[in-house]
């Protein structure tokens, strides 16, 4: 009765053979590239969220200033009447 080798075990054994060092090196490069890609995507996501929060904050600050100016205008208008 033959033992069934799973695909992952066969691939790992094949990669670690001396004649397939280039495949091992390529696998390491692919893993590093994936890590860097996910890291950059995460940083972009954080910057986007930060920028959106800044825009909202500026919008609310402008809105509050407009409300205060309107209140000042209304109070001046009421004093005149």
Please classify residue 20 by burial: count the beta carbons closer than 10 Å to its beta carbon, then call 0-12 exposed, 13-18 middle and 19+ buried.
middle
Work out the angle between the directed axes of helices 7-15 and 21-80 (0-180°, nearest 10).
110
Q: What is the pLDDT of residues 45-72, one digit of tens each?
A: 888 888 888 877 777 777 777 777 777 7
Sign (positive or negative) of CA dihedral 49, 51, 56, 61: positive
Total residues belonging to the chain: 81
What is the overall mean pLDDT for the chain? Answer: 77
Sign (positive or negative) of CA dihedral 54, 57, 61, 66: positive
How much is the pTM?
0.45
Q: How confident is the model at residue 33 (pLDDT cuts 50, 70, 90)?
A: very high
pLDDT given at position 31:
92
pLDDT given at position 77:
60
């Amino acid at each position: 009765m033959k033992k069934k080798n799973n695909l992952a075990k066969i691939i790992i054994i094949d990669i670690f053979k001396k004649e397939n060092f280039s495949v091992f090196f390529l696998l390491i490069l692919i893993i590093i590239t994936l890590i860097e890609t996910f890291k950059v995507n995460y940083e972009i996501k954080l910057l986007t969220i930060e920028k959106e929060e800044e825009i909202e904050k500026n919008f609310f600050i402008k809105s509050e200033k407009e409300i205060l100016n309107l209140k000042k205008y209304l109070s001046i208008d009421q004093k005149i009447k």
